[in-house]
Amino acid sequence: MQLFIKIKIELGVMMNIAVVTPQSVKGERGGAEGLYDGLIKALITKGHNVNHVKVLVDESTFESIVQAYCYCYYLDLDDYDVVISTKAPTYMVRHRNHISYLLHTIRVFYDMFDEISLGLDKIKQRELIYAFDKYGLDPSRIKKHCTIGHTVEERLRNADQFWNNIDFKLIYPDTLLSGFSEPKKGEFIFLPGRLHRWKRIDLVIKSMKYVKNGVKLLLAGKGEDEKNLKKLTRDLGLENRIEFLGPVSDNELIDLYSRSIVIPFVTKKEDFGYITIEAFRAKKPVITCHDSGEPTYIVKDGVSGFIVEPDPIKIAEKINFFIENPDEAANMGINGYDAVRHITWDNVTNDMLDGINIDPSERTPKINTLVLDMQPIEPAIGGGRLRLKGLYSNFPRNFQVTYIGSYDWSGEQHREIKISDNLNEIDVPFSKTHFDINSYLNKLVPQNVTIDVLSPFLIFASDEYVNRVKKELIKNEVIIVSHPWIYSVIYDDIKDKLLIYDSHNYEYGLREQLFPKNGFGKCIVEYVRFVESNLCKQADIILACSDEDKAKFVLNYGVDPEKIFILPNGTFVKDYDINIEKNKLKNELGIDNFAAIFVGSNYAPNVDAAEFIIKTLAQECGDIQFIIVGGVSDCVDKTSIPSNVLITGLVSNDDLKKYMLASDIALNPMVRGSGINIKMLDYFAAGLPVITTKIGARGLYNKNNYIESELSDFRKYIKLFLDDKNILTEMSKCARNTAESEYDWNKLSINLGNLIGKSLRGK
């Protein structure tokens, strides 16, 4: 019998934790998103390594809901010590230490079913969802059941007796809102939150007919029901007494709470309700209703507020009580404050992790990883450097990554910088001899760059670089060769190490396009084939950017397809704030018209694309502002630039994002290249529909966010976007959703980390 010693996780002992949450396809934020942020921040404060695993959940169709359930089930989270699931369907995940912090199941199949879903087919769908939920939340799969409220627990017990056998631990989440000051004299009635019919804001609006002394109601927030609520306000003749403030900042929200008389939170069957907690933190009383769900457990009737029937007159009676009795309002507000003082994020994490034990043999080991290339990462300019930064600065926290690069230009100094908590960059300049020999050989193919393709043998003229690679090689068990150019330094020293080829392109095919097909050009291309094919054969894992590249490796090098994994390029989705006002950015940047942007580095295929925009499109589309950004600006013919073309040159990352967010569409008229164009993914992250050639869209499959076109038809599709704002808006939403769900560097890095962990165990 094997003996396992269990170690209790005490405070201060670091664990690797995954917090799994659903993400709406609309990208909306509400109380749940604030809860996720607060929980993750609290766990990190405790000293744990935490990764936020977001699962895109589309609840618009039953089929997409089922797909999300299946996706969660197949998530590979084995490398974490603990997994915390949240809303449906994230509890379908499989893990030995699975904590369910249940916000709620999908309510349209539970308490809201009779209001929304009718028909036999809907009943059958509900039965399937019930079966999924019973399986996902079965005690045999869950180490600890927690929930945010009694209401969530009761909803399940009312649906099926199955839930009577589960012991749920109630853990009220804290709010992220902080900085509450002493309350001020009440001036108005205040209610923040989403304008949704389940929040029953219409009851509060109707109650204002009976509220005395001309006191006003202020509503903060936005939502689906805003139009109907404004119409109701007009129909009741209350326009002068009710203000719709729209979204407000945290500081404004705290001030509004402070100056309110009472908070009438009369939602229907609420799971938890941050508004109750925030009102009490501001020392303000709350009015809620008997059927409002969790607020009825938090508000003590006659002590910290009132619990009434969902009737406008009854609500108005209590509002009038607080207007006429400000001292009572103050006392009840203080009672509410005392009632929620124990709700802190520190207590949340203590309660959640209390009693969780782990097997030492299951702890995620530290994985020392060496990544090799011949370019710097920072500043991350151009596709190759963006991939390096995106993948390896977002690795799971149990990875310690050392990157050794160089400069493909002379005159730089040795440097070592820390890019992220687990990624260190070391840049060792190539020697003068290295550059001198390259310059001599480059004269044989003067229209091409050779510093990369010749480095597999010229690298040995750079002793300092080679020696540093050899030194670091000993310390790391995972070796990642990014591009094939440094492979020659390590090929006979890797022994039992895990060797990974991160192929940014199918290099042989790309160089065939770029170099002359005779003389020294042909020699270089064949040399690239020799180096890349040998690396592919020796590598344990090959990362291909697209299915097309994978097929070429298999066909031309005879590589086992089982060891090739598709890991597309990605984008830093969170860097693009798509909620920023586009017209404001246009004014700041001097853009007057409908704008189309092209971004490119100093790279021959990008130059071709930019020249097409300047010499053809700009001439055909005089009413469009064309913006060309990046190193490609230095290479285009500037002798006759049309007035509707703005060439910015190299700009900072912040300015690049501004230009992209100020644009209306993006262009990618590429006619040659390999791998996925990272610029396409950045366009998607910025919410830009794209008109692209087939080459520009290589490796992409979701055509809901781009139009694939011949160069001759670009003008036609630009006009389509200019004339039809509905198509523009829909494709913009699809572009952003695609970036979030498929091309977020954080998710791609986690997938690669899991793959490496599994491969190490197998090796």
Indicate the fold that domain 367-566 takes in CATH. Rossmann fold (3.40.50)
Give the pairing type, strands 415-420 and 423-427.
antiparallel
pLDDT digits (tens, 9 = 90+) for 415-446: 999 998 889 999 999 999 999 999 999 999 99
Cα(333)–Cα(450) distance, rounded to whole angstroms? 73
pLDDT digits (tens, 9 = 90+) for 200-257: 999 999 999 999 889 999 999 988 899 999 999 999 999 999 999 998 888 999 999 9
Cα(261)–Cα(189) distance, rounded to whole angstroms? 6
Sign, CA dihedral 673-679-684-685, equals: positive
Asked if residue 750 lies in contact with residue 51, where contact means CB atoms within 8 angstroms, the answer is: yes
pLDDT digits (tens, 9 = 90+) for 586-605: 999 999 889 999 998 888 88
Q: What per-residue confidence (pLDDT) applies to 684?
A: 94
Residue 263: what are its φ and ψ, rounded to 5°?
-110, 110
Work out the mean pLDDT of the chain and round it to a whole number. 89
Asked if residue 535 lies in contact with residue 484, where contact means CB atoms within 8 angstroms, the answer is: yes
Residue 22: what are its φ and ψ, rounded to 5°?
-80, 155
Confidence of residue 111 (pLDDT cuts 50, 70, 90): low
- Of 366 and 600, which is predicted with more confidence? 600
Q: What separation in angstroms does the CA of 451 have from each of 184, 459, 542?
A: 69, 10, 24
* SS3 at position 423: strand
Name the percent of the chain in helix, strand, coil, to the closest 5.
45, 15, 40
- Write down the domain spans for the chain: 7-170, 189-343, 367-566, 573-743
pLDDT at 26 over 70: no
Asked if residue 85 lies in contact with residue 91, where contact means CB atoms within 8 angstroms, the answer is: yes
Q: What separation in angstroms does the CA of 302 have from each of 261, 262, 324, 698?
A: 16, 13, 15, 66
Pick the CATH number of 573-743 from 3.40.640.10, 3.40.718.10, 3.40.50.2000, 3.40.50.10440: 3.40.50.2000
Concatenating the DSSP letter of every residue in 358-391 gives E-GGGSPPPEEEEEE-SS--SS--SHHHHHHHHH
pLDDT at 292 over 70: yes
- The reply to whether CATH 3.40.50.620 applies to domain 189-343 is no
Q: Helices in 401-558 by DSSP H: which ranges?
A: 432-442, 455-458, 463-473, 487-490, 507-514, 519-538, 547-557
In a 13 Å sphere around the CA of 154, the CA atoms on its Cβ side amount to: 11
In a 13 Å sphere around the CA of 539, the CA atoms on its Cβ side amount to: 33
Look up residue 58 and give its two tokens: 């589309």
- Quick check: pTM over 0.85? no
**367-566 shares the fold of 189-343:** yes
Give the pairing type, strands 357-358 and 367-372.
unpaired
pLDDT-above-90 percentage for the chain = 59
- Of 186 and 107, which is predicted with more confidence? 186
Q: What per-residue confidence (pLDDT) applies to 662?
A: 94
Q: Once rounded to an integer, what is the mean pLDDT over residues 645-672?
A: 91
Q: What per-residue confidence (pLDDT) applies to 24?
A: 75
C-alpha R_g of the chain: 30
pLDDT at 665 over 70: yes
Residue 404: what are its φ and ψ, rounded to 5°?
-115, 120
Q: Once rounded to an integer, what is the mean pLDDT over residues 377-384?
A: 86
What amino acid occupies position 659?
Y
pLDDT digits (tens, 9 = 90+) for 704-760: 789 999 999 999 999 999 999 889 988 998 899 888 888 999 888 888 988 898 888
Burial of residue 356 (number of CB atoms within 10 Å: 0-12, 13-18, 19+): middle
pLDDT digits (tens, 9 = 90+) for 32-84: 888 999 999 999 888 888 889 888 888 778 888 888 899 899 888 887 889 99
To 10 degrees, what angle do helices 714-723 and 725-742 make?
A: 110
Give the pairing type, strands 98-102 and 478-482.
unpaired
Give the pairing type, strands 595-599 and 625-629.
parallel
Look up residue 497 and give its two tokens: 């190490």
Q: What per-residue confidence (pLDDT) applies to 27?
A: 61
Q: What per-residue confidence (pLDDT) applies to 115?
A: 64
Indicate the fold that domain 7-170 takes in CATH. Rossmann fold (3.40.50)
**The tokens 């491969």 sit on which residue?**
759
* SS3 at position 627: strand
Cα(624)–Cα(617) distance, rounded to whole angstroms? 9
pLDDT at 176 over 90: no
* SS3 at position 233: helix
